[in-house]
Amino acid sequence: MGEPIAFISFILVCAPNHPLTQLSLPLDPNALAQELQIVIKDSAKTPEEKTGWLRSENRWTVSHFDYAIELLLQGIGFCWLPEHTVSELIKTGKLTSLTVEGSYFKQFTAYLISPTPDNQGPGTKLLEKLILQHREIDLPSS
């Protein structure tokens, strides 16, 4: 069982000088599939847990969002990244957001999961309580 704690929006980004920025928006997914995609390594254990747009035949997989951003800033590839990690780079013109036909944004729900709630110590219980108090999701009232 998990408690939802945040909605995370992912947006498609690339460098302003990337060839994708010369195409009309929204992008045709087939045109996008011809370009290099930067992918963040997925930590899912089973294929059912894995999600994401992986239609490009040319992909580089990196282990962290920061590595993806470094490549993007060099004009290499495109990537779906959490909006909060790239919003400032978009505002300053260092990255450009793109839209794709039929897929303008992706959203992920983050959950707080306590695998052994009966074995929590006081510190873990307090941390869980604080996280739940400050979560970004408004839950419906029961």
Whether the predicted pLDDT of 103 surpasses 90 = no
Whether the predicted pLDDT of 136 surpasses 80 = no
Whether the predicted pLDDT of 46 surpasses 60 = no
pLDDT on residue 17: 97
pLDDT on residue 50: 44
Task: List, as own/partner pairs, every contact residues 88-93 make where C-beta atoms lie below 8 angstroms and the sequence separation is at least 24, other chains included.
Answer: 89/13, 90/13, 93/16
| Degrees to nearest 5, angle at CA 44 with 40 and 45 | 140
- DSSP character string of 32-71: HTTSPEEEEPP--SSGGG--S----SSEEEESSHHHHHHH
What's the rounded mean pLDDT across residues 53-70? 85
